[in-house]
Amino acid sequence: MSPLDQKLLRDLWRMKTQALAIALVVATGVMLLVMMSGLVNSLEETRRAYYERYRLADVFAPVVRAPERVLDELAQIDGVSAVEGRISGRALIDVADTDLPVQARAVSLPDFGAPRLNDVYLTSGRLIDRQRTDEILLLKSFAEAHGLAPGDRLSATMHGARRSFLIVGLAQSPEFLYTTAPGELVPDDSRFGVIWMSRSAMEAAYDLDGAFNEALLSVAHPHDLPGVLAAADRLLDEYGALGAYALEDQFSNRFIMEEISGLRASAAAVPPIFLAVAAFLLNIVFSRLLQAERQQIGLIKAFGYTDAEVTWHYFKLILIITASGAALGCLSGLAAGASMVGLYIQYYKFPFLVFEIAPSSFVIAMVASISAAALGGLFALRRIFALSPAVAMRPPAPPDYSQSGRFAGVFRRLLDQPTRIVIRRLVRHPGRVLGAVAGVSAGMALSGGMLTILSGFDESIETSFSVVDRSDMLVSFIEPLSDRTIHSLRRIEGVIDVEPTRSVSVVLRNGVRSHRGGITALAPDAGLYRALDTAGGELLLPEQGIVLTPALADILDIAAGDILTVDVREGRRPLLQLPVTGIAESLLGSPAYMDLAALNRALGEPDRVSGAYLRVDPNFQEDIYTALDAMPAVAGVSVKADARAAFQEIMDEGAGSTRFVMAAIAAIIAFGIVYNTARIAYAESAHDLASLRVLGFTKGEAAFVLLGELGAVVLISLPIGALAGYGLTFAIAEGFSTDLYQIPASFSPAALGQSGLAVIAAAVFSGWMVKRDSDRADLVLALKSRE
């Protein structure tokens, strides 16, 4: 082993704690990169294989009623490779463990053979006997939530008639990976089910003998999709077409794709932050290391080693630290990704999900981490070339204090000797102080930004379920009814207040941009469910025009005052031109709001409602459930408390729990930066501190000189880190928000205060550790001449 390699091992052991801290920062960035890229790859591959194996349709075309012969015409459309007609309808399931009927969707299966499109995956039991009209398959997640199994019976209300069924099997489907009740965004296995029945049984239940109400199409090539959608709408128009839409707009698939897109964006944006911090730390550590070892470098050069050999010696030190961190990050990424797979299986109903990482992910992670570290280290290592042996072995010139004479008397009267030493150290090395301040501020900004986002999630839940929605439940009807239905609801004992609403399925268009969604119409004096403006105040809906949410306005690239094309997909399906009159806040979904009377007037259907918000007396809750269950026009009841609990569970235990991981990692990085700052300061000051001890300073006074600099750096960093964290919050909130839910970015004094306390705690702990080393230092060894 060469002498330089022996020195390399000694240096690694001497700076083991600093090397470990930097390696952990590198490992964190690599872990996130490997984990997220692996999850993206796993989700995409599993989704693709599952969709292909069970032939998920590329186009969904719902209609009111169309004869079977129309399927042959759909099959003749250029680009269509397969067509399937089926019957789909709403249902209410009676289950023993709840007083309220549970909303469900009933779907037909062919009487003979497997469906050409949208097949099901049987998890237990057997397939239905097409000759037995009472046999059904039940969605596995719903059955498990209610303790149902093959052989059990359940009753359901379909098209106004109550029927009894025998469960013969449990199934899953790529069409129902993410399941929610109609009108809701939050999945809850216990509150929404799917029933598969034979085609003949569905025809009898929904009075669609020889007809279908949904066509499924498979497209040969993606570029054929726009033409197929347009042709399908033209063919089905006379049969009450509700608008054909592509798989990308299918509800379940849209959530899956949002999750994949979010993971891909995080994999591209988050790991570079940690790698940049690692590069920054390496630059600071090695800049000070080279400054402290300048005499050694000069001596090594004097013995004949070239600049390249000396540079390679220190560069190997960087490579060892970085490669160790990258290897640890790869292993941690594998373990973290494998643990996350269980969450995705739970919330996205894949029958299987194997965590797989492409070999290129490891290569990219290693190359990115080593490149970032090398970049940070090379800025410091370039100083080696500027040091000739004679200059390097000469001690640095002492600082010039001749200009401070006029202030010396003032400082001497006001400050004691240790404090004056601290101030001189700060003034003597402004670049070093600024670097330390930048590092600590960056750590606090990361921690403060993530803690603010944590409170933003909580604020999102509180605003959505307490400020916007102040009702207790939402009752939805099978079809729009006369507003006289509201009076019937008011007569139910225990109902305190009732507020009408109407939801209409639409396609919103602005030029080439479009969005498939719905319009929510509210009463003028709405108090149970309100639209809020962007400042959080109640928004009064105008008597004409439409109000959009910020997310929806961005999707459509439209602003207040512009004209929006509204293609209504129900009833007489009119095409409306409505002015955008304002922007309203919404943290769940991307709704559009209108005044109830204005919407009915635009549709030519006065005094119509499709649902109602209720405020009820909890003492009469079971009686209200019974009364609603007896009303044939009621399609479903959504209890707000259940929806809130389900959303909170997702945020705390499901996919949203990644924000806790990010917050913990940010806190670790903040600690790593503070700790490295303290260790480096001690390494640079060991000789000076020993000199002070010999001159008669106590251990406490010597430690004050060391820790006073760290304390000043932390105090300067706190306000800068708070401002940077506030700005970073907006970028993080934008990254977490999607079209389906938005995370508010707001100033949170408590979150920034907590991040500040975390930095102070890290400084206290780091200070205690370096003070302990200072107290134990060998004064004779530390005072050896550096000349």
Q: How confident is the model at residue 524 (pLDDT cuts 50, 70, 90)?
A: confident
- Which strand ranges, in their side-by-side order, compose the sheet holding 245-246? 80-86, 211-219, 59-67, 245-246
Number of Cβ within a 10 Å radius of residue 754: 18
Q: CA quadruple 773, 774, 780, 784: dihedral positive or negative?
A: positive
pLDDT at 326 (0 to 100): 87
pLDDT in tens, 604-622: 888 899 999 999 998 898 8
Domain residue spans in the chain? 1-57+252-397, 88-207, 404-468+641-787, 495-616
pLDDT at 336 (0 to 100): 82
pLDDT at 109 exceeding the cut of 60: yes
- Per the document, the length of the chain is 787
pLDDT at 735 exceeding the cut of 70: no
- Measured CA to CA in angstroms, residue 243 lies from 64, 324, 502, 568 at distances of 11, 56, 19, 9
Count CA within 13 A, CB hemisphere, residue 530: 18
By DSSP bridging, strand 575-585 and strand 546-548 are parallel
- Using the structure block, give the residue that is written with the tokens 């934008």: 734
pLDDT in tens, 215-262: 999 999 999 999 999 999 999 988 988 889 999 888 889 888 877 887
Q: How confident is the model at residue 199 (pLDDT cuts 50, 70, 90)?
A: very high
Q: Partners of 567 in the beta sheet?
A: 507, 575
pLDDT in tens, 397-413: 665 555 554 545 555 66
- Measured CA to CA in angstroms, residue 291 lies from 107, 257, 294, 683 at distances of 74, 51, 5, 11
pLDDT in tens, 423-434: 777 777 677 778
SS3 call for 508: strand
Residue among 437, 480, 359, 515 nearest 763 (CA)? 437
pLDDT in tens, 37-83: 888 888 888 889 999 999 999 999 999 999 999 999 999 999 999 99
pLDDT at 124 (0 to 100): 93
What secondary structure letter does DSSP report for 395?
A: P
pLDDT at 776 (0 to 100): 74
Contact criterion met (CB below 8 Å) for 482 and 473: no
pLDDT at 498 exceeding the cut of 60: yes
Q: How confident is the model at residue 786 (pLDDT cuts 50, 70, 90)?
A: very low
CB-based burial of residue 272 (10 Å sphere; 0-12 exposed, 13-18 middle, 19+ buried)? middle
CB-based burial of residue 215 (10 Å sphere; 0-12 exposed, 13-18 middle, 19+ buried)? buried
Question: Residue 611 carries which side chain, given as an amino acid letter?
Answer: G
pLDDT in tens, 287-318: 766 666 777 777 787 788 887 888 888 788 88
Find the radius of gyration of the CA atoms of the chain: 34
- Distance (Å, whole) CA 717 – CA 438: 7
pLDDT at 298 (0 to 100): 76
First to last CA, the chain: 28
pLDDT at 445 (0 to 100): 80
Q: Which of 289-298, 370-379, 659-668 has the lowest mean pLDDT?
A: 659-668
pLDDT at 272 exceeding the cut of 80: no
Q: How confident is the model at residue 96 (pLDDT cuts 50, 70, 90)?
A: confident
pLDDT at 183 (0 to 100): 63
- Distance (Å, whole) CA 234 – CA 244: 10
pLDDT at 185 exceeding the cut of 90: no
Tokens of 746: 């707001």
Residue among 624, 614, 488 nearest 101 (CA)? 624
Q: CA quadruple 452, 458, 461, 462: dihedral positive or negative?
A: negative
pLDDT at 413 (0 to 100): 63
Question: Residue 30 carries which side chain, given as an amino acid letter?
Answer: V
Q: Which of 408-412, 638-642, 771-775 has the lowest mean pLDDT?
A: 408-412
Mean pLDDT for the stretch of residues 499-514: 90
Tokens of 266: 């995080």
- Distance (Å, whole) CA 509 – CA 523: 25
pLDDT at 785 (0 to 100): 47
pLDDT at 265 (0 to 100): 74
pLDDT at 702 (0 to 100): 77
SS3 call for 315: helix
SS3 call for 198: strand
Residues sharing a CB contact under 8 Å with residue 116, sequence separation 6 or more, in sequence order: 55, 82, 83, 84, 218
Mean pLDDT for the stretch of residues 100-115: 88
- Of the spans 474-483, 645-654, 686-695, which averages the highest pLDDT? 474-483
Q: Which of 167-171, 585-589, 720-724 has the lowest mean pLDDT?
A: 585-589
Q: What is the mean pLDDT of the chain?
A: 81
DSSP string for 543-609: SSSEEE-HHHHHHHT--TT-EEEEEE-STT--EEEEEEEEEEE-SBS--EEEEHHHHHHHHT-TTEE
- Distance (Å, whole) CA 541 – CA 13: 69
Mean pLDDT for the stretch of residues 121-129: 92
pLDDT at 658 (0 to 100): 57
Contact criterion met (CB below 8 Å) for 603 and 578: no
Mean pLDDT for the stretch of residues 160-177: 91
Contact criterion met (CB below 8 Å) for 18 and 766: no
pLDDT at 171 (0 to 100): 95
Q: How confident is the model at residue 357 (pLDDT cuts 50, 70, 90)?
A: confident
Better-predicted residue by pLDDT, 529 or 24: 529
pLDDT at 2 exceeding the cut of 60: yes
Q: How confident is the model at residue 787 (pLDDT cuts 50, 70, 90)?
A: very low
pLDDT at 502 exceeding the cut of 90: yes
Q: Partners of 615 in the beta sheet?
A: 497
pLDDT in tens, 705-734: 778 878 888 888 889 888 888 777 777 776
pLDDT in tens, 316-337: 888 888 888 889 988 988 888 8
Residue among 639, 739, 528, 649 nearest 192 (CA)? 639
- Distance (Å, whole) CA 134 – CA 198: 9
Count CA within 13 A, CB hemisphere, residue 168: 15
pLDDT at 412 (0 to 100): 61
pLDDT at 535 (0 to 100): 65
- Distance (Å, whole) CA 160 – CA 384: 85
193 φψ region: left (φ > 0), alpha (ψ -120 to 50), beta (else): beta
